[in-house]
């Protein structure tokens, strides 16, 4: 059985069967830790079941194909500090506030970025609530 600890791999896709359906869970490294291999990861997907991609940073989202039903990320901590008029001050992303937190829908694709519970760069949060997200997935009608 393949595991995420396999140091020769930078990504992994597994098919999960649940009740009457199935979906693929695909882990993709981000730009900070490696060269994300989205195409290689998705080449493991062998049927038309929905695909969920999990990655650390949302910066790969523009490269995720429409085949993916949902991309999940964190890394930005929601910007950690929010000031009215200035917005989120600490967003470690090449896209600035675009993927800072929450549900983002672009070109028919969905991304959810959690603010998480920690901090990055400086140990401060102001007006950015920490969160642990529970998503309820339901099949399309």
For residue 66, being part of any structural domain is answered with yes
For residue 2, being part of any structural domain is answered with no
Give the model confidence (pLDDT) of 1-21 as tens digits.
444 444 445 568 999 998 888
- Going by pLDDT thresholds of 50, 70 and 90, the confidence category of residue 112 is very high
For residue 61, being part of any structural domain is answered with yes
CATH code of residue 49: 3.30.750
What burial class does residue 69 get, using C-beta atoms within 10 Å of its C-beta: 0-12 exposed, 13-18 middle, 19+ buried? middle
Whether the predicted pLDDT of 32 surpasses 90: no
> How far from 14 is each of 28, 59, 62, 137, 141, CA to CA, in Å?
12, 22, 22, 17, 24
Top-confidence residue, 140 or 63: 63
Query: Using CA atoms, how far apart are residues 44 and 2, in angstroms rounded to an integer?
Result: 12
Query: Using CA atoms, how far apart are residues 86 and 96, in angstroms rounded to an integer?
Result: 12
What pTM did the predictor assign?
Answer: 0.87
For residue 138, being part of any structural domain is answered with no
For residue 123, being part of any structural domain is answered with no
For residue 120, being part of any structural domain is answered with no
What integer is the mean pLDDT of 75-82?
91
Top-confidence residue, 87 or 139: 87
For residue 118, being part of any structural domain is answered with no
State the residue range of the domain holding 38: 11-113
Q: How many domains does the chain have?
A: 1
For residue 41, being part of any structural domain is answered with yes
């Amino acid at each position: 059985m393949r595991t995420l600890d396999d140091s020769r791999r930078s990504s992994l896709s597994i098919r999960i069967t649940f009740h009457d359906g199935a979906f693929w869970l695909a882990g993709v490294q981000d730009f900070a830790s490696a060269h994300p291999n989205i195409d290689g990861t998705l080449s493991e997907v062998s049927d038309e079941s929905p695909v969920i991609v999990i990655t650390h940073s949302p910066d790969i989202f523009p490269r995720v194909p429409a085949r993916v039903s949902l991309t999940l990320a964190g890394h930005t901590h929601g910007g950690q500090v929010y000031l009215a008029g200035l917005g989120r001050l600490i967003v470690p992303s090449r896209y600035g506030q675009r993927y800072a937190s929450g549900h983002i829908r672009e070109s028919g694709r969905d991304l959810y970025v959690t603010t998480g519970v920690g901090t990055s760069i400086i140990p401060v949060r102001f007006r950015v609530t920490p969160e642990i997200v529970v998503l309820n997935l339901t099949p399309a009608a």
